[in-house]
Amino acid sequence: MRIAYLDRTVHETDSEPKPNGDVSAISKSIDLQGSFETGDKTTIASKDFGGLYSTKPLALIKPAGSDDISRFIKAASRIPRMTVAARGNGHSINGQAMTNGGLVIDMRSTEENHFRLLNINGSFFIDVSGGALWENVLTRCVSRFGLAPRSWTDYLSLTVGGTLSNAGVSGQAFRYGPQISNVTELEIVTGKGDITVCSETRNPKLFFGSLGGLGQFGIITRARVKLQPAPDMVRWIRVVYTEFDEFTRDAEFLVSRDDGESFDYVEGFVFCNNDDPVNGWPAVPLDPVHGFNPGIIPQTGASVVYCLEVAFHYQKGDHPSTVDKAVAGLLKRLRFVEGLKSQVDLSYVEFLLRVKRAEEQAKANGIWDAPHPWLNLFISKSNIVEFDQTVFKKMVKDGIGGPMLIYPLMRSKWDNRTSVALPDSEIFYLVALLRFVSRGPSVEESVAQNREIVEWCIKEGLDFKLYLPHYQSKEEWKLHFGNQWTRFVERKASFDPMAILAPGQNIFKRTHLS
């Protein structure tokens, strides 16, 4: 199978037929409360965080709310070959928030439309806009109510609608499931332009189809998210392993424990057994005062070593000895290298915004805007050793210029009624190669290596799925969804029969679904 989305020319401009009709006629035909922008004002919508492709839209719409989006989609559907893409904060990698010669809806203009706390039968929820950033949801919920959503992504400058259209995964997902497992209601503007409220019992096909549905069923304008009491503090810990089997044993042990018998966050990453400032020993310590002592690492000759990253929540009123005892009790069950433990205590909000600080540093150093040919995979537990031996120990053993994440997730925490395609095993791993081209291999080399990794997975018959999938052919999408394909297509046809909702260059572009 050819993984076309990894094989495109960087900064290619698509040459698909342009839609018929005068785009200005759309703005004149409907009573938009928001703004309608063309020309140079659409530049922001012509690129994304990935920085791999550039496609120019006909217009950028900044809606005032769901009514604007509804009217706009209905008008756009009457123009042949027109496509519409929703753009959150533009953090997609492969052009999912862009459309060549189509119309882009900037969801950030709707951020303030919804923010309401609800108490339903003693449980707390927050209604938030699809265009709201998770970092703002976090800070407002904690500061106003002492509550917070249960599941996160590592980077929170993403919109609610954007992550719910994919899954939303981080180190809390082993316990609470991804973000899509922590939503009870959505308001969606479908591809027909209908404003529809849906839940598990109300319009369930649209509800479950949209969760992880890659924006193919409609545009999420409001979400009802589960909340829980927010802790005050977090003890953030990193421990090091030289043996992959011991690293995976401990990680799987922690994510398989019941609530209250493990850490509150579990992730991990691979780093090079050298002094490379990005992918080597200096990347491990949390406390800058105490560096990394490579002399403690057993002389195994391994090209890469592993770091297990965990966090323990507590309240300011908890006695320090109580926290120390609980953490020590969990750590004593693990087989990490003695002497290679790093930890720091910080507030809950600071911990969740940890990548924000890295972003600020990257922007100051001028590397944040570099291309990001990232690769994200879900790999079955049954294949993760093989993946380590070939990919981590050989293909990327010299680093990639950015983090190489790996940590286990529990399939039972995911609702199989959603649109997300997963490996078959109960435990599977998220693997993320988060490349920053300015400090690693070139864009072309990075894209080629990503393609090589995926093609190797296919050749060896690994049980894996692309996360944030992006293909160009129907055959590739059918293989990705497997036995979910028919259900996905039937749901899609019900809510967007003309396939007008079409992020990125994939088969769901208009008229390509049959």
Active-site residue set: 91, 154, 267
Residue pair 379/433 in contact by the 8 Å Cβ criterion: no
Residue 211 CA: distances (Å) to CA of 55, 263, 271, 314: 26, 27, 33, 31
Between CA 414 and CA 493, with CA 376 as vertex, the angle to 5 degrees is: 60
**What are the structure tokens assigned to 327, written together?**
């953490």
Query: How far apart are alpha carbons 254 and 30 in whole angstroms?
Result: 55
Query: How far apart are alpha carbons 2 and 275 in whole angstroms?
Result: 37
Place of tokens 């108490």: 119
**What are the structure tokens assigned to 509, written together?**
């572009």
Residue pair 1/476 in contact by the 8 Å Cβ criterion: yes
Residue pair 266/251 in contact by the 8 Å Cβ criterion: yes
Query: How far apart are alpha carbons 375 and 363 in whole angstroms?
Result: 22
Question: Burial of 161 by CB count in 10 Å (0-12 exposed, 13-18 middle, 19+ buried)?
Answer: buried
Residue pair 440/447 in contact by the 8 Å Cβ criterion: no
Question: Burial of 324 by CB count in 10 Å (0-12 exposed, 13-18 middle, 19+ buried)?
Answer: exposed
**What are the structure tokens assigned to 169, written together?**
């995964």
Query: How far apart are alpha carbons 328 and 416 in whole angstroms?
Result: 36
Question: Burial of 427 by CB count in 10 Å (0-12 exposed, 13-18 middle, 19+ buried)?
Answer: buried
Q: What are the b/e assignments for 303-318, b being 16+ CB within 10 Å?
A: ebbbbbbbbbbbeeee
**What are the structure tokens assigned to 15, written together?**
């040459």
Query: How far apart are alpha carbons 84 and 215 in whole angstroms?
Result: 10
At residue 120, the 3 state secondary structure works out as strand
Where helices occur in 315-459 by DSSP H, the ranges are 320-331, 348-352, 354-364, 384-387, 443-459
CA torsion sign, 389 to 250 to 354 to 127? positive
- Helix (H) / strand (E) element for 274: namely none
**What are the structure tokens assigned to 454, written together?**
């995926």
Who's near 256: CB < 8 A, 6+ residues apart?
410, 427
Query: How far apart are alpha carbons 45 and 448 in whole angstroms?
Result: 26
Query: How far apart are alpha carbons 93 and 52 in whole angstroms?
Result: 8
